[in-house]
Structure 1
Amino acid sequence: MKITGSVALVTGANRGIGRHFTQQLLERGAAKVYATARNPERIDIPGVQALRLDITDPEQVAAAAAAASDVTLLINNAGISTWTNLVTGDLSRIRLEMDTHYYGTLSMVRAFAPVLGGNGGGAILNVLSAMSWFSYDGANAYGAAKAAAWSLTNGIRIELASQSTLVTGLHLGSADTDMMADYDGDKTDPADVVRAALDGIEARKLEVVADEWSAHIKASLAADPSAFYTAFGRG
């Protein structure tokens, strides 16, 4: 899978990591980039084709797939964080997390899988999280939704192998974006995250672990979870 000459579609392209994906795809020689957002008028990157897309709206997803029938690379980046817990949190906000990260991503995959297959296979990148692998008090709805999206990524990879579609999962910790503006800890440069992800696609990697924190979380999965949560201050 080569970025040069590809036709890419990026969801949530108006800001944050999605905006960096859009910019770097152009810099790497993508032939066309569809930059999508719920409010496409906020997309201000020259050289892209802006499309209106709310991934939780089936009609908009279908319209995007019809308009972008030449796509060879799908970047499922659109996301939301409601900072909601599972037991006491507002159920509508929990559903919004799942509707966006799981059902929205699945809707995009189902709509674009035939497009990619018809164009030779191509690739899908799902933007996941280190929180696919651990829980954090105050954001457990996000973690549950990203865990579901991780499982989705692994499942569709198997299902789309027969049409030669590469499916890559991107895991990252906190990036310096608007979504994490109120977080006081260390943050990764989103440009570095995107660079690692696009390098991973070209190398046909099934998984890209973008930072040391995500690598640490992944390594902890093989151990007793009490060790991680005690060290994390949640044991």
Structure 2
Amino acid sequence: MIELGEATVPAATVARLPYYLRALRDLAEAGVTTTSSSELAERSGVGSAQLRKDLSYLGSFGTRGVGYDVQSLAQYIASALGLGSEHRLAIVGIGNLGHALANYSGYAARGFQVVALLDADPQVVGGSAAGLTIEHVDALEDVLPRTGVSMVVLATPGPVAQAIAERIVGCGVREILSFAPVALQLPDDVVVRSVDVAGELQILAFHAAARAATNGTPR
């Protein structure tokens, strides 16, 4: 369970809130002012009962026969997610993935700003991406406090990820999004979200193999 203000919310519910927020913002951009639980659930990829249960952890929303006010619910979820103020990001590891992450155009609209890029490769350090100069990772303890970083995206090779993550935590950062293919061992008060692309593809491969076995078709 995770504390959100005065509410205690299951971690699985918190993980679904960004999908609800994205769906609500899409509806708002389309000029929709009210939506039903079934429509919002379908746009978010969950069941309507799950949606209603998730929202019940945050408070009482919606009017029977009318539905949810799109704008007010979006604002409430954004506030619950801590998106009322800008979060300053650093990306550590500016290889192909790091470059792609640095140049992602959707940060500002979601309350994030990339303010620092770091790498260890001499051929990369001193270059630029997304309008920022890439600094050497040796200067991490200077760069993170100087730029006011509150979250770090870790896109380094696996063998160095643990040591760099420990240095990041030593700078006071407690939120890390890791693309490194390792399980980071960090203090309990550090929140790590891991994105294992290869692992996700292996799960898809499992489902493909299971479907082929069920259908009696060769893999």
TM-score normalised according to structure 1 size: 0.43
TM-score normalised according to structure 2 size: 0.46
Q: Which has the higher contact order (CA 8 A, sep 6+)?
A: 1
More strand by share: 2
